[in-house]
Chain A
Amino acid sequence: MYAALKCYATLSALQPENAGHFPLEPDETVERLIARLGIPGEEVAVVFVNGRTAPRETVLADGDRVGLFPVVGGG
């Protein structure tokens, strides 16, 4: 099972090389994925799965697109 990951803004420093085709563990949640990437949980403000906001308990499926977004408020 693989997901396509995108880590935005300051989180991009921790985006893995194979983000476009990232192997998932069985029944992996967004929460677990964030931890496995080494991203401090409080730095992720919004999680998007397949174009919709998703809670961190969401269990990921093969082919899911996951976006991790910090607070972004400049302009």
Chain B
Amino acid sequence: MTEDEIVRAIAALSQPAPEPLRFRCLAGQVLADLSRKTGISLARLEILALQNGVAPEKYLRNFTTFSLDEQVRLLESGAALLGLGGLGGLVLEYLARSGVGRIRAADGDVFEESNCNRQILSSPANLGQSKAGAAAARARLLNPACEFEVWPKFVDAASVAACVRDREVLAMRRELAEAAAVAGVPLVTAGVAGLTGWVAVVAPGSASPAGLFAASKGQSAEIVSGTPAPAVGAAASVMAGCALDVLRGRRPALWGKMLLFDLADATFETVVL
């Protein structure tokens, strides 16, 4: 089939999206069948559909917060994730479901029982197993249009650049922020202790939370307070929102800033980095 024929087939098989949306939509099964029949990747078919005013049904509730063009942009975009624990696992969940086209994720760790309070990829059934393996299975399950590349190893300062190659955004905890800055990709980063957390978006080469914390001799607060699920979830949600902003071509509200929050008294404060 030529591209024109495919576009015509997509249009013929589509139906009006529910009110008040003003475009058409198409079931995932129809796109999957078309992909099998034509040998064209699901991601490419989704992009073709969106470019012709037809939204894959799985993305319907992204609209109109995202435009059809922004959904195309997400499918064409790439993110790197360092760490697949509490924050990384949830960020992966949200990016894959939202339709980010290419996700590269690295983690050399295996699950242990104390991960299960918050790490969405962990369960009593996969203790001792690789976080990277669980992430690959989850990403395939959530969104087969997402091209997921996994690095079952720990990334160090020397390998950050390779991990963020051809990616538009990097999400991770703060440890490698300085190395990431050199790679020239916006960094979305966060930390949690107890019901307190922070999230920041660091422009390449700009001040980062890692720099703020670097001089401190105090022990990291999560050693005492732990990392309960609601705070990890709140931080991961804000991270995912910021990453999706960057990936669809918008400047996140936290660009060059840091959100501080405390769920214990519902404090949310944004500070300049």
Contacts and interface: CB of A to CB of B under 8 A. Distances in A.
Contacts, number: 106
A74 B88 CA distance: 12
B193 A45 contact: no
B-side interface size class: 35 or more
A33 interface: no
Contacts of A58: none
A20 to B, nearest CB: 10
B85 interface: yes
Contacts of B273: 53
Interface string A1-42: 000001011101000000000000000000000000000101
22 contacts: A8-B260, A9-B194, A10-B221, A42-B216, A42-B218, A43-B218, A45-B212, A45-B215, A52-B271, A65-B269, A70-B221, A71-B213, A71-B219, A71-B220, A73-B173, A73-B174, A73-B191, A73-B222, A74-B220, A74-B227, A75-B83, A75-B192
Interface of A: 6, 8-10, 12, 40, 42-46, 48, 51-53, 65, 67, 69-75
Interface of B: 83, 85-88, 173-175, 190-194, 196-198, 212-213, 215-222, 224-227, 232, 235, 260, 262, 264, 267, 269-273
